[in-house]
Amino acid sequence: MKSRLTVIVCVIAAAALSVWLITSRRVFFRIDMTEEGRFTIAECTREIVSAIDEPVHIDVYLGGDIDANMVRLRHAVRDLIDEFNAYAGEKITVAYIDPNDAPDEESRYAGYECLERRGLRGMSVAVRDAHGGVSQQVVFPWAEVSAHGDTVPVCLLQPGMEASGEAAVNAAMEDHEYLFADAIRILQQRDVRKIAFIEGHGELSEAETYDISAALSRYFQVDRGVLGAEDNVLDGYDAVIVASPQEKFTETDKYIIDQYVMGGGRVLWCIDGVKVSHDRMAESGVSPLMPLDLNLQDMLFRYGVRITPTVVEDLQCAYMPVNIARPGETPKFEPMPWFYAPLLQTSPYHPITKNRSAVKGEFASVIDFPGDTAGVKKSVLLVSGNATHITAAPNDIDLNRIMSVDPQEYFTTGYAPVAAVMEGRFVSAFKNRMPPQGLNVTKAKADSSVETRMVVVGDGDVLRNDLENADGGVAIVPLGYDRMTRMTYGNKDFIISALLYLTDDMGLMELRNRTVRLRLLNKAAVMTEAQTMRWLNVLLPLAIVAAGGAAYLYLHRRRWVR
């Protein structure tokens, strides 16, 4: 009877195992027991990876023996790709490559150079060996996602973060789902999305926006042009950019942009509130500070925002070279703080600016939110530092006076808003008004918009790259790069994130708001109680095994021994 029961149990177990092996690759479930859903990917990510039509290959350049934090980063990437594969039907393959694995030093440096040429910049980290020695090792916290013959690089540790440290790795891990999902989406998308720079009002030239245009071309077809007289000229574009205009907009231009917004169009406004003469400042060190009238204030006011005719001076600022030599002596330049180039702080609460470096401004203006716009949600993206002075126009700028101010008495305000995103239903600036004469009207005028978005920045220079002479020609200085300190600020990332957020209808950018809590051990307690913990880890398992064995022997004797 007992042997028959054993056979039945074995048959049932074998059948259950067979069913599980057959269905496990098709039917699966996940249980994420972490508080913040660390191991659960978003619904929009599932849609992207489930729609993969051809195999996707990922090269991760974090192979070999590396720093412990880089190993943690590699494990996080591996877990994320495994989760992607569960919904992609195993269409994603991955290879972990060690750039330091080379037969000799010459080959290793040749490999470094090859990666650098592809835009994958390495960083140096300290590695501790088994004997306690510390050495420097070059690591490449990058991955490359390939499909359809194209490759998209993914930075696993954003520039500006420290190369080591649990907090930096934790912040990088929060972005991984968005970065990989975005790369796969770019490789799989078939429709071309278009954005446009509006011209005709003294906006930044093509050369001055070359770097940001090249970066945006990874995601969009980037066009430029004047508006003309057709009211539907912008209808084919996902977003438009108004980049530092210096001349007034006509009512026709305003109507075209307004009706584009009413139809759900998205706009990135980068507008100065004041006008400064750079030539006069270079010659005499003094320049008038005048309000810049672009004939847009009534339009923006109706939308719920105003760019004030002010300029922000910030103690937290970039530097500029100043000649400190006496008249007649050989020029001697020293870096001096340039208060009119504030390093704007990024909001940690919005996906556009979360974990982004400071953004360098230039004669930035404060924005505010007048009027009753209850249907529009406003979120501040960039603010000045905690030591700020606001100068209202009309006024003048005197470099000699600025360099001699008492910081404690001069910089008395702080956290002035310079950029914001607005979302909701906007009221038309042409409500209860007729369309301008001379406009070719092809569609009915709308007095209120559908759900849409716009980003307003009180500084037109946030997307302007510098130009410099090189070998008889003109060279493009990367956007956000400071030649004085050789630092790169977050201007490019900010503009790209702003455009991606404006055109994101899937909610993919919301993944950047994911927060993974860092739960670290109490280092003081670990150091003081290390010996106790070691003995506990050694003896406690043995004690549990011994107790279990003793209990088994006791019950066995009690049952069978009479």
The mean per-residue pLDDT over the stretch 436-445 comes to 91
Distances in Å between the alpha carbon of 349 and those of 379, 489, 535? 9, 19, 44
Residue with tokens 């007729």: 434
Between 510 and 204, name the one with better pLDDT.
204
Distance CA(276)–CA(292), nearest Å, equals: 9
Nearest C-alpha neighbor of 257 from the set 277, 237, 278: 237
The whole-chain average pLDDT of the chain stands at: 86
Which backbone phi and psi does 351 adopt, to 5 degrees?
-60, -20
Question: Taking the CB of residue 301, how many other CB atoms lie within 10 A of it?
Answer: 15
**Residue 545: how many CA atoms within 13 Å on its side-chain side?**
5
Distance, in Å, from the CA atom of 412 to the CA atom of 389, rounded to the nearest integer, reads: 6
Q: Which residue has the tokens 């069978």?
A: 560
Q: Is 56 helix (H, G, I), strand (E, B) or coil?
A: strand
Residues above pLDDT 70, as percent of the chain:
87
Supply the pTM of this predicted model. 0.83
Phi, psi (5° rounding) for residue 320? -135, 150
What is the rounded CA–CA span in Å between residue 311 and residue 297? 17
Mean pLDDT (whole number) for 81-86 = 90
Residue 120 pLDDT? 87
Q: In this model, does residue 125 exceed pLDDT 80?
A: no
> How is residue 331 written in tokens?
């020029």
Give the pLDDT score at 162.
Answer: 44
- Compute the average pLDDT of residues 470-496: 88
- Please give the average per-residue pLDDT across 85-89, as a whole number: 87
CB–CB of 355/170 below 8 Å? Answer: no
Q: How many other C-beta atoms lie within 10 A of the C-beta of residue 561?
A: 6
Cα separation, 508 vs 239, whole angstroms: 17
537 CA to centre of own chain: 43
Per-residue pLDDT averaged across 460-487, rounded? 88
* CB-count burial class (<10 Å; 0-12, 13-18, 19+) for 176: buried
Looking at residue 388, what is its pLDDT?
95
Pairing of strands 367-368, 306-307: antiparallel
Count how many Cα atoms sit within 13 Å of the Cα of residue 271 in the half-sphere of its side chain. 28
Q: What is the DSSP string of 264-333?
A: T-EEEEE--SEEE-HHHHHHHSEEEEEE---S-HHHHHHHT-EE-SEEEEESSEEEEEEE-SPTTSPP-E
- Residue with more model confidence, 504 or 127: 504
Contact 231, 441 (CB under 8 A): yes
Least trusted range by pLDDT, from 70-84, 126-140, 545-559: 126-140
Residue 28 has pLDDT above 70, yes or no: no
Non-local CB neighbours of 407 within 8 Å, separated by 6+ positions: 315, 387
pLDDT in tens, 185-222: 888 888 889 999 999 999 999 999 999 999 999 899 99
Question: 29-66 pLDDT, tens per residue?
Answer: 566 666 666 667 888 888 888 888 889 999 999 877 77
Average pLDDT over residues 169-183: 86
CA–CA dist 291, 394 (Å, integer): 6
CA 180 to CA 178: how far, in whole Å?
A: 6
Which is higher by pLDDT, 543 or 556?
543
> How far is CA 137 from each of CA 122, 124, 125, 134, 215, rounded to the nearest angstrom?
10, 5, 5, 10, 30
Residue range 141-163: mean pLDDT, rounded? 81
Closest CA to 62 of 38, 14, 94, 98: 98
Between residues 280 and 131, the one the model is more confident about: 280
The mean per-residue pLDDT over the stretch 311-332 comes to 80
At which residue do the structure tokens 């249980």 appear? 31
Tell me the CA end-to-end span of the chain in Å, nearest whole number: 26
Determine the pLDDT at residue 163: 44
Q: Residue 31: count other Cβ atoms within 10 Å of its Cβ.
A: 6
Non-local (6+) Cβ contacts of 307 within 8 A are 271, 272, 273, 297, 300, 365, 367, 456, 458
Place of tokens 């010659």: 283
Residue 439 scores a pLDDT above 80? yes
